[in-house]
Amino acid sequence: MEKILLAILAEMNLAVDFSGEKNLIDDGILDSFDIIALVGELNDAFDIDIGVEHLLPENFNSLEAIMNLVKKLQAER
Amino acid sequence: MKKIADFEQLKRLVKPWLKKGIATNNYLLPDAYEPILRKGALYYAKAGQGLLLLVDHGNHFRLYYYLAGCNSRFLLPRTKPSAMEILFAAGDQSIQEIIAYWEGMGFKAYLSRRRMSVAAAAFTPGSPAGEEVVFADRRHAAAIHALLAASFDPYLGDLPTVDEIKEGTLRQEFICVPAADNKVKGVLRISRRRNVYLILHLAVAPQYRRRGLAGKMLAYFNMTMEKKENTAVRLWVQPGNAAARRLYEQAGFRDDGWEAVGLLYLP
């Protein structure tokens, strides 16, 4: 999952070392534009339904947080 | 056009549209919907390949779309103007198809903006010395409202109400150069989301221009903002506003690759 996620983030052309970042939102590396674009990719790649209610900065602040959200939604499927 | 009753209904409406390949101009995060829903100001309209969210701002509707293609025909409100803003990465030619689609629906492109950013460490707006610059308080709200209304676009200017300004002063979101009788010579409005500050409005009354007041308000903001290692400041400015761009460039801001076009529909 981590490899797929890193590939998606790399494809979004964001020049960031995501594997080492813990504050993607807090540090302004990702903003709401990026979150919305990322959600479409994640929903498609992992067959999950990220909804409006999940668009919270804490769900996208690190690679780990994004993976936790994906895992949680996969478990709820 | 139907009213959206609550967040649960909004979730159900938007869910099918949060997927790859859907074009949207809606970058609102959940907390942005709360005050809109509380006021009963959120509506929706559906068409074959699209969903529109409409926010009633009193003098106009602000539109947010989700489109799976450019073939849908929406019934737009006939009672007042509709406005929308489309954000895109500089040089993204695919946005032209979307703009052409909305122009085909009767919208006209009438405003463009570019985003500029600066890291806090590189933010160097000078000094506020020589002028009284303060955080505004509620007594200044009416004057700030009047100055912003006279300075910014009535539809896409994100103009706050007097009450919103009063609330904002409690959070120190308004810096001003005060004048007599609770009037203001200039105002700077800021919002903050975690480590990123956004300059929402910067205006100086015509009779006080060419005195460096805008720079002094920026300098006061620089002195009072909380700076962490990765704090940044962002703003949107019209590319044709040479004086504003020069001010921001001197303070360290640079274009960061995001642009926006505003579209207006007059029924």
Per-residue pLDDT of chain B (267 residues; tens, 9 = 90+): 999 999 999 999 999 999 888 999 998 888 899 999 999 999 999 998 899 999 999 999 999 999 998 888 899 999 999 999 999 888 888 899 999 999 999 999 999 999 999 999 999 998 888 889 999 999 999 999 999 999 999 999 999 999 999 999 999 999 999 999 999 999 999 999 888 899 999 999 999 999 999 999 999 999 999 988 889 999 999 999 999 999 999 999 999 988 999 999 999
Mean pLDDT in residue range A38-48: 91
User: For residues A64 and A67, what is the distance between their CA atoms, to the nearest angstrom?
Assistant: 5
DSSP E strands: which ranges in B77-183? 82-89, 108-119, 134-135, 174-178
Cα distances (angstroms) measured from residue B160 to each of A12, B45, B150, B213? 34, 26, 13, 22
**Which amino acid belongs to residue B250?**
Q
Q: In whole angstroms, how large is the CA radius of gyration of chain B?
A: 20
Contacts of B158 by beta carbon, 8 Å cutoff, 6+ apart: B152, B200, B201
For residue B70, the 8-state DSSP code is: S
Stretch among A13-22, A25-34, B125-134 having the lowest mean pLDDT: A13-22
DSSP 8-state secondary structure symbol assigned to residue A29 = S
pLDDT band at A42 (very low <50, low <70, confident <90, very high): very high
Q: Do A33 and B15 touch (CB under 8 A)?
A: no
Question: E strands of A4-74, at which residues?
Answer: none
Residue B192: strand pairing partners: B197
Q: What's the number of domains chain A is made of?
A: 1
How confident is the model at residue A16, as a pLDDT?
66
What is the C-alpha separation between B193 and B195, in angstroms, rounded?
6
Q: Are A52 and B30 in contact (CB < 8 Å)? A: yes
CATH code of the domain covering residue A52: 1.10.1200.10
Per CB-CB distance under 8 Å, the chain B contacts of A39 are: 18
Q: What angle do CA B22, B23, B25 make, to 5 degrees?
A: 130
pLDDT-above-70 percentage for chain A: 92
CATH topology of domain B119-239: Aminopeptidase (3.40.630)
Distance from CA of B37 to the nearest CA of A (A): 14
Nearest to A52 among B10, B22, B258 (CB): B10
A20 touches chain B (CB under 8 A): no
The parent domain of residue A18 ranges over: 2-76
Q: How far is B158 from chain A (nearest CA, A)?
A: 18
Minimal CA separation from A50 to chain B, in Å? 7
Interface pTM, i.e. ipTM: 0.82
Percent of chain A with pLDDT over 90: 34
